Amino acid sequence: MASNDELDVPQEGLAEAWRNALPDWLHGGDHAEVRIDGADPSALNVTIRSAGHTNMEFDFAVRYVDSREIDIQLTDVEKDGQTVDERTDIIQQLIGDYRRHLHETAQALHHYTHS
């Protein structure tokens, strides 16, 4: 059965909406970069640079399951340009925080993604 709630917004417009909204949910000093996923029109790639942990970068793939729900996959964690073990407690806590911020951003954009 096909969903009647598919995401139906231009991908670049969606990325721009995320670029504008995501900073409102991040901690002061954290920075995010939002890029379109060229292989999937319902997906974005998000890199968050953590202010409190020197040179830490978290890469996430954010895919819209429908116009309201997102699926978030962690794709990489780096410190000083080197991949690190993301299983440490502090990194797991940061991943959880950033996943929550990504969900909050998606919720804040329901007016844009859900027609």
Q: Find out whether 34 and 46 touch, Cβ atoms under 8 Å.
A: yes
| The pLDDT value given to residue 6 | 84
Confidence band, pLDDT 50/70/90 cuts, at residue 22: very high
Please write down the long-range contacts of 47-51, taking CB distance under 8 Å and 24 or more positions apart: 48/98, 48/101, 50/94, 51/27
Architecture of the domain whose range is 11-109: 2-Layer Sandwich (3.30)
What's the pLDDT at 28?
85
What gap in Å lies between CA 71 and CA 96, rounded to an integer? 14
For 22-88, where are the alpha helices, taking DSSP H only? Answer: none
pTM: 0.92
**Residues 32-67: tens digit of each pLDDT:** 999 999 999 999 999 999 987 677 999 999 999 999
Decide if pLDDT at 111 tops 50.
yes
Find the DSSP H helices in 38-88: none
The tens digit of pLDDT for each residue in 81-93 reads 899 999 999 899 9
Domain boundaries, the chain: 11-109
Q: What's the confidence (pLDDT) of residue 2?
A: 42
